[in-house]
Structure 1
Amino acid sequence: MSSTVVPLVIAFLGIVGTLASALMTQRLAEKAKAKELDHSARQRVEERQHETRRAMAEAVRTCYVRLNTASLDYQSELNHFWHALRVSRVTDDVRSRLDDARREHRARYSEAQMRVPDDVLTVVDGVHRKLNHLYGVLKRLDGGVTVRLEDDVSLDEAHHQIMGLWEQLTAIRRTMRLSIGVTQDGP
């Protein structure tokens, strides 16, 4: 190689190196930016998922509160109706209050069917059926309708069953509290 070619080759390599280093720096910056954008996107997805889980948990909690309140009110109105039956003082107002409590409970139960986990719904379903059974018994006793033999429940037996609902209502509350993590202890 001649003495004029060596400086040209060195100059050429210097120019290529400078250009390559600029391209490499740009590529590394693009990769870093892509990683940063990907991380931000994943973080936003995780935040949305967390917010969705939080909103769903809050909806379930609200459903539990409403269902618990409606169940207690329904049981209370059944008891109030029973007392009115016992002293033969059932009025349209007493009937209306019981029917309103039944409608409210049905609405809360329908909401629970769409929101709560199956294990909780199983417990809730048993109480829902018992409340409605007692509603039917009391309405038949109020109307003086002769009850079928398998449904032959006296006024005293109806009261015993109404009072027995407290244990089932407590079981529902315990199951709901366990479901949302308010309590960790078992039954």
Structure 2
Amino acid sequence: MVIAFLGIVGTLVSGLMTQRLAERVKSKELDHSERQRAEERQYEAKRAMAETLRACYVILNTASLDYHSELNNFWYALRAGRVTDDLRSRLDDARREHRARYSEAQMRVPDDVLATVDKVHRGLNRMYGILKRLDGGIPPRREDESLEQVHTQIVTFWDQLGEMRQIMRRSIGVPPEIA
């Protein structure tokens, strides 16, 4: 009877132990699956943020280059005395587009990149102001605001645009050797 009792108890206990072990394994599998899903969500969020930042950089770089080109075109027309309403409109459109992209960048890009972007933004707008004053017949306020001086600023501004582009590229992990 004792042996039969132990056999019955052993059978019941082994069933409970097997069930308990299966519950532990299942719990570990669920925990692992949940951790894996959380890691995947985190990876996707980082990837989406990186793509959004990259897109912001591309659009801002394009707007900066367009604005710079329109400043250069306007300078040549101003020097030749051939500024048209179309040129004025194109320059103003480039300025507005750049301002919109700059405003977007202010909300998205890291502070170290924003410092350079801000420097470019201010430089472009300074040249715009000088050219518009000269176009309006307003005499220069300072020595460096002559037609020739602003041309020098436009030409040397390529370096600032290049610096901005390199900082943006580093920010998104583009290796320098690809440049």
- The residue matched to 2:145 in structure 1 has which SS? coil
Deviation at 1:154, TM superposition (A): 0.5
Which residue does 1:5 correspond to in 2?
none
- Compared CA separation, residues 99 and 17, structure 1 to 2 (3 A): same
Supply the distance in 1 between the matched residues of 2:123 and 2:40 (Cα, whole angstroms): 42
Would you say 1:107 and 2:100 are equivalent positions?
A: yes
Supply the distance in 1 between the matched residues of 2:117 and 2:131 (Cα, whole angstroms): 21
Supply the distance in 1 between the matched residues of 2:7 and 2:38 (Cα, whole angstroms): 46
The residue type paired with residue 155 of structure 1 is L
Match for residue 77 of structure 1 among 64, 70, 83: 70
C-alpha offsets along residues 76-122 of structure 1, whole Å, 9 cap, x if unaligned?
A: 00000001100111111000000010011111111111111111111
Which residue does 1:94 correspond to in 2?
87
Deviating 4+ runs (over 4 angstroms): none
Deviation at 1:184, TM superposition (A): 3.8
Per mean C-alpha deviation after superposition, the further-off stretch among 126-135 and 174-183 is 174-183
Supply the distance in 2 between the matched residues of 1:165 and 1:40 (Cα, whole angstroms): 53
Which residue does 1:59 correspond to in 2?
52
Which residue does 1:4 correspond to in 2?
none
Supply the distance in 1 between the matched residues of 2:8 and 2:136 (Cα, whole angstroms): 104
Q: Residues 154-165 of structure 1: matches in 2 within 5 Å?
A: 154-165=146-157
Deviation at 1:152, TM superposition (A): 5.6
Contact 2:140/2:146 (CA < 8 Å) preserved in 1?
A: no
Supply the distance in 1 between the matched residues of 2:60 and 2:35 (Cα, whole angstroms): 37
Larger radius of gyration: 1
Supply the distance in 2 between the matched residues of 1:184 and 1:155 (Cα, whole angstroms): 36
Supply the distance in 2 between the matched residues of 1:66 and 1:151 (Cα, whole angstroms): 34
Contact 1:137/1:151 (CA < 8 Å) preserved in 2?
A: no
CA RMSD of aligned residues (A): 1.4
Q: Residues 43-58 of structure 1: matches in 2 within 5 Å?
A: 43-58=36-51
Supply the distance in 2 between the matched residues of 1:105 and 1:27 (Cα, whole angstroms): 65
In structure 1, the gaps of 5 or more residues are: 1-7
Supply the distance in 2 between the matched residues of 1:15 and 1:129 (Cα, whole angstroms): 87
Supply the distance in 2 between the matched residues of 1:183 and 1:115 (Cα, whole angstroms): 21
May I ask how many residue pairs the two structures share in their alignment? 178
Supply the distance in 1 between the matched residues of 2:143 and 2:42 (Cα, whole angstroms): 50
Supply the distance in 1 between the matched residues of 2:173 and 2:144 (Cα, whole angstroms): 42
C-alpha offsets along residues 37-94 of structure 1, whole Å, 9 cap, x if unaligned?
A: 1100110000000000000000111111111111000000000000110011111100
- TM-score (norm: length of structure 1): 0.91
Deviation at 1:146, TM superposition (A): 3.3
Which residue does 1:3 correspond to in 2?
none
Deviation at 1:151, TM superposition (A): 6.8
- TM-score (norm: length of structure 2): 0.95
